[in-house]
Every structure is written in structure tokens, then in C-alpha cells.
């Protein structure tokens, strides 16, 4: 699919798909190549270019999407904040730990993935409720929407799926992740406003050391939350008056005998 052959609507859809993929890269375990892309301002420029092609305004400062200093320190901060902790990391990237009933959350996510012919191999990659898995799924759905547009097919099933996934899965917990990240900057750790399976002090690492989150991740989470909220609103507007069933609703309808 050549860029010059795309319509304006297709270019915007491609930008949305691309931005989801960039967010996947941002939240993945940082290797040296990614750190070099941050330090060289390559990642920030790619995000900026994708934002410029979006079908809605996303006016956010992107200056924080860079890194400086030592790669080993950056990597260690990622591990201390997102991966390692007593009982649970300070800011885990698993949605089931924020929403309660993690098993049920992962089962619902797996139904989403399976509905579109996707599956996660046990022992390979992240779990169904990891943020990178959820963002990768949105990248996939947006690309399927682009493919439908480019081939003159109806894109609305993929748009309904994206709205459903954003509103059921990503939007309910990303604000909580952002709140926990922001609390790392506070003098004291505030108590969670809602019950959560995420426990333990927020400002201490596994050896009791004070935590300081790299500015990159604070910026990345802010950009991610603003983008998914704006994207959900945009997709809803494209479906105004559309009476089609969303994916999970369709599965339930079928189970109830509504479809043969």
C-alpha cells in the first residue's frame, strides 16, 4: 500500500495506526536501540509526524519524549517503576491489577483477541492485559480499518471494535496509571481513591530506595491518555447513527440465540 495512493481519510487512519505502534515501542522494555532513538530525538519526531496527520487535534507538548544520561540508569528506572516491587511494582503496566478481578479482565481481553483471529502464545511475549498488548491490538484494528478503506470495503466493523476496546479496556484504567505515576513526584504517596489490587508504597523501590521516574515516561503516559480519549471520541463520531453491534455485544447476542 503506497502512501501516495492513499486518500486523506486513509492517511489519517494510517497515522492513528502508526501512533499506536509507537506507543507500543515506548512502553516496551527499553533496549539500547530504543534509548538511542530517544537520545537522538528520533522517537519524538516520529510521534510528532504521526500527530500532525491525525484526524483530530492533539495539542500536547512532546518535548518530554526524549532521554538523556546513561542507558543503564534509564533501564533500571523502567524496571523499578513498572516491573519490580514488593508484592507489585509501584506502577504496573497490567490493566487487571487496576480494575480488579484480573482473571475476568484477561478472559475478556482474550475474547477480543480471539474474535479477530488473534491469540497469544503462552510463554512468549506479554500477557493479555499488559499495556503493550492492548496498544498493539489497537494498532492492528486501525490497520484493518485502513485496509478496508483502501479496498473499498466497509470500515465500520473495525471502527466499532476500536470504540468498544478503548471504552471497555484502555480508558477505564489509564487515568489510574497516570495518577500513580504522578504520585511518584509528590512528597507523600496519596491513598488510592478506588480499591485496587495494586498495593505497597509508591515511592520506594525493591530495596527501599526513593523512586524517580524519567520524564520520558510521564510524558508518554500523558500523550497516551490524551490520544486514546480523543481517538475514542473521533471514532464515535464516525459511527453516529450506526446501529451495528460492537464485538462483545455481538458475541453475547449470538450466545443468546440472536444470530444463527
- The whole-model pTM stands at 0.84
Of 99, 31, 35, 29, give the one whose Cα is nearest residue 65.
35
Q: What angle do CA 79, 24, 54 make, to 5 degrees?
A: 140
Q: What would you report as the CA-atom Rg of the chain, rounded to the nearest whole angstrom?
A: 19
* CA dist., res. 199 & res. 195, Å (int): 10
Between the two ends of the chain, the Cα-to-Cα distance in Å is: 36
CB-neighbour burial class of residue 190 (10 A; exposed 0-12, middle 13-18, buried 19+): exposed
Distance between CA atoms of 233 and 79, rounded to whole angstroms? Answer: 33
- Residue ranges and CATH numbers for the domains of the chain are 3-255 (1.10.3480.10)
User: What CA–CA distance (Å, rounded) separates 203 from 77?
Assistant: 12
Measured over the CA atoms of residue 171, residue 82, residue 59 and residue 183, the dihedral's sign is positive
pLDDT by residue, tens only, the chain of 260 residues: 555 578 999 999 999 999 999 999 999 999 999 999 999 999 999 999 999 999 999 888 899 999 989 999 999 999 999 998 777 889 999 999 998 889 999 999 999 999 999 988 764 568 999 999 999 999 999 999 999 999 999 999 999 999 999 999 999 999 999 999 988 766 334 444 444 444 444 444 445 555 567 899 999 999 999 999 999 999 999 997 665 555 555 543 443 344 43
Amino acid at each position: 500500500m503506497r502512501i501516495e495512493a492513499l486518500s486523506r481519510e486513509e492517511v489519517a487512519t494510517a497515522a492513528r495506526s502508526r501512533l499506536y505502534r509507537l506507543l507500543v515501542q515506548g512502553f516496551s522494555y527499553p533496549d539500547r536501540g530504543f534509548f538511542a532513538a530517544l537520545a537522538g530525538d528520533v522517537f519524538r519526531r516520529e510521534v510528532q509526524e504521526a500527530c500532525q496527520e491525525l484526524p483530530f487535534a492533539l495539542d500536547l507538548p512532546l518535548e518530554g519524549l526524549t532521554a538523556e544520561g546513561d542507558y543503564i540508569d534509564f533501564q533500571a528506572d523502567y524496571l523499578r517503576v513498572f516491573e519490580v516491587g514488593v508484592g507489585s511494582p509501584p506502577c504496573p503496566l497490567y490493566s487487571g491489577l487496576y480494575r480488579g478481578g484480573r482473571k475476568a479482565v484477561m478472559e475478556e481481553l482474550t475474547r477480543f483477541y480471539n474474535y479477530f483471529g488473534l491469540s497469544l502464545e503462552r510463554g512468549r511475549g506479554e500477557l493479555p492485559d499488559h499495556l503493550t498488548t492492548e496498544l498493539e491490538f489497537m494498532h492492528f484494528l486501525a490497520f484493518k480499518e485502513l485496509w478496508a478503506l483502501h479496498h473499498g470495503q466497509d470500515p465500520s466493523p473495525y471502527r466499532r471494535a476500536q470504540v468498544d476496546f478503548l471504552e471497555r479496556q484502555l480508558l477505564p484504567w489509564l487515568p489510574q496509571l497516570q495518577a500513580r505515576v504522578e504520585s511518584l513526584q509528590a512528597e507523600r504517596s496519596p491513598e488510592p481513591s478506588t480499591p485496587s489490587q495494586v498495593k505497597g508504597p509508591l515511592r520506594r523501590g525493591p530495596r527501599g530506595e526513593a523512586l524517580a521516574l524519567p520524564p520520558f515516561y510521564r510524558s508518554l503516559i500523558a500523550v497516551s491518555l490524551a490520544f486514546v480519549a480523543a481517538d475514542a471520541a473521533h471514532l464515535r463520531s464516525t459511527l453516529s447513527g450506526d446501529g451495528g453491534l460492537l464485538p462483545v455485544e455481538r458475541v453475547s447476542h449470538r450466545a443468546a440465540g440472536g444470530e444463527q
